[in-house]
Structure 1
């Protein structure tokens, strides 16, 4: 069993757990924040979440690069592709939705963010499963 594969699994599983926590707990509470406090709340959320997601993304990027260089088999490309998809959904969809919310809470934008985040959680979960399968 390769150390790279174990570390890759740890990062992908940790990110999936993080993403489900955001989906089920964090984002569900956005609508409870008083309107007058929401812009400050959203700014703090964006700043603080970076401390968690940044290292998780960095770890997955490093281990994905390791899979690309050292791995064999097609399944490694599936994992790399899933991570790329998470980054794409984050950058192209979630970040712009957060930018919209940074001007104030909007229920339609919030609902869209929940749907986009569900996609990220699903992709992350499948990636953790694939990363576990790479250990076989």
Structure 2
């Protein structure tokens, strides 16, 4: 059951980051200068309320999977999944969050471009994590553990 929960969280976060990367972030440049600071601050508040609990739950379930590895799932692949999460968390804390902080003062096209470009790292990490989760589920179900 933990593996299914973890996979669902990872899928949800991939959907969220794709929406942000392909829809939301590109539209930042369409917000007027007068309303930009309030818009960016509100974006930060709302996205944190949505993504924060999901990211925390994904991290906790990834650690839990390492402590109780599902049968047939190679432990090295669980470590790889956790390493990808570390990249996501470090990028969020050291790159995306500071960029949002700087953008909250005033829109800057250069900072916006850096946000769009740098966020691809997180997007690709989550996409790769989804691939890992699909593989883990396939291995797990292949043992007949996902039935009954």
Deviations 1:44-74 (A, max 9, x none): 0000001210121121112111112111521
Count of residue pairs the alignment pairs up: 134
Larger Rg: 2
The match for 1:125 among 108, 124, 127 is: 127
The 4+ residue runs of structure 1 with deviation greater than 3 A are none
CA distance in structure 2 between the aligned counterparts of 1:8 and 1:131, rounded to whole angstroms: 8
Q: Following TM superposition, by how much is the alpha carbon of 1:81 offset from its aligned partner in structure 2, in angstroms?
A: 0.8
Which has the larger helix fraction?
A: 1
Gaps of 5+ in 2: 140-148
Gaps of 5+ in 1: none
User: Aligned residue for 2:24?
Assistant: 26
TM-score (norm 1): 0.95
Over the residues paired in the alignment, what is the CA RMSD in angstroms?
Answer: 0.9
Q: Is this contact kept in 2: 1:76–1:134, CA < 8 A?
A: no
